[in-house]
Amino acid sequence: MTQPNITLVYDHECPVCRNYCQVLSIREAAGSMTILNARDNPPIMREINALGIDMDEGFVLKIGEKFYHGADAIHSLALLSTRSGFFNTLNYQVFRSKNLSRILYPVLKTGRNILLKMLGKSKLDNLKT
């Protein structure tokens, strides 16, 4: 059985998002993951936009043909992640719970928005709202 393609799309302008993506490590058995900056407008953004997924509401994880957004994406990443190292172990312990992911993700999103504003960075506004 072949492993599904795994793609993570995030906002590179957010230092927290960028660092999260740099230190995240998924299990070898899950396959390999491609990490893309949404601001580079990679081809996958056409799919994301067509689905009406607002990148300012959270990053996107695509596994095979299925899309996960925000809290569902961070929960899925926790389940795929290795348990090696402090960060990956903590990420797994916190976000392996779907309920806890749904509670904590809005806090993370608010922090991202405040941080972008403090840094003078614009939101992605991929849906041109």
Write down the domain spans for the chain: 6-118
Label residue 1 by pLDDT band (50, 70, 90). low
- Considering the chain, what is the average pLDDT of its residues? 94
What percent of the chain has pLDDT above 70?
99
How close are the terminal C-alpha atoms of the chain, in Å? Answer: 41
Other beta carbons within 10 angstroms of residue 21's beta carbon come to 20
Give, in order, the Cα–Cα distances in Å from 36 to each of 15, 53, 115: 15, 16, 20
What is the mean pLDDT of the segment spanning 61-78? 97
- Block residue for tokens 């994880």: 61
- Block residue for tokens 């740099």: 22
Closest to 55 (Cα-Cα) out of 41, 65, 34, 66: 41
